């Protein structure tokens, strides 16, 4: 998927039919139309993790992941900007995805795949990732415009 013209990938992760778990995909879909005319940016969505993410992120210089997260002290609707190291460190606090992205990226590098130089994770604290439903909980729905704005700010910075 890593087209040579696109330097940045905005990737919404999650499952859009599991209530708050689809928050990353909702953010990506919101940005899709406004970023459509910018060939240096690709917007995509995925419901996979780990090694299956490699082929999606391969070839991009920069990746902005948007995903749901659940931490012990977090309040639904909180938004965090995390580096890959910080995200992996927070995994023990219970992320909604079993995503060992750090290990997958190292594996990709060892295979000689062109891995991103920069990965930023915009994580939205969620309340419910188990109930089937296409609508997020109110606090998470209210956080979506703020998450979209944070991604816009990331995109405004040179890669």
For the chain, how many residues are written? 159
Beta sheet of 118-125, edge-to-edge order: 41-46, 8-13, 62-69, 118-125, 79-83
Residue 17 included in any domain: yes
| pLDDT for the residue 106 | 81
- Other beta carbons within 10 Å of 107: 15
Residue 55 included in any domain: yes
- Report the share of the chain in percent with pLDDT over 90: 47
- Other beta carbons within 10 Å of 126: 29
Residue 3 included in any domain: no
Give the alpha-carbon dihedral of 140, 51, 81, 84, to 10 degrees.
Answer: 150
Residues 6+ positions from 112 with CB-CB distance below 8 Å: none
Q: In whole angstroms, what is the distance from residue 81 CA to residue 12 CA?
A: 14
Residue 113 included in any domain: yes
Question: Do residues 143 and 23 lie in contact, with contact meaning Cβ atoms separated by under 8 Å?
Answer: yes
Strand partners, 62: 8, 118
The pLDDT confidence band at residue 49, using thresholds 50, 70 and 90, is confident
| pLDDT for the residue 159 | 59
The pLDDT confidence band at residue 3, using thresholds 50, 70 and 90, is very low
The pLDDT confidence band at residue 98, using thresholds 50, 70 and 90, is very low
| pLDDT for the residue 149 | 97
Residue 96 has pLDDT above 50, yes or no: no
Residue 2 included in any domain: no
| Burial group, residue 150, by CB count within 10 angstroms (0-12, 13-18, 19+) | buried
Per-residue pLDDT, averaged over 98-109, amounts to: 73
pLDDT for 9-44, tens place per residue? 999 999 888 899 999 999 999 999 889 888 899 999
Number of structural domains (the chain) is 1
Question: Which of 50 and 83 is assigned the larger pLDDT?
Answer: 83
Question: What domain range is 56 assigned to?
Answer: 8-156
The pLDDT confidence band at residue 94, using thresholds 50, 70 and 90, is very low
Residue 1 included in any domain: no
**SS percent in the chain: helix, strand, coil, step 5:** 40, 20, 40
CATH number at residue 105: 3.40.50.1450
């Amino acid at each position: 998927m890593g087209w040579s013209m696109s330097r940045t990938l905005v990737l919404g992760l999650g499952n859009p039919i599991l209530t708050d778990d689809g928050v990353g995909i909702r953010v990506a879909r919101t940005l899709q139309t406004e970023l459509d005319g910018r060939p240096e940016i690709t917007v995509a969505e995925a419901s996979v993790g780990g090694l299956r993410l490699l082929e999606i992120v391969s070839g991009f210089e920069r990746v902005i992941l948007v995903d749901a997260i659940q931490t012990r002290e977090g309040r639904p609707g909180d938004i965090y900007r995390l580096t890959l190291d910080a995200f992996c460190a927070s995994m023990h606090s219970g992320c909604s995805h079993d995503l060992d992205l750090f290990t997958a990226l190292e594996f990709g590098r060892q295979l000689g795949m062109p891995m991103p130089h920069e990965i930023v994770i915009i994580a939205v604290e969620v309340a419910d990732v188990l109930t089937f439903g296409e609508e997020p909980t109110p606090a998470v729905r209210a956080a979506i415009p703020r998450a979209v704005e944070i991604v816009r700010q990331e995109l405004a910075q040179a890669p």
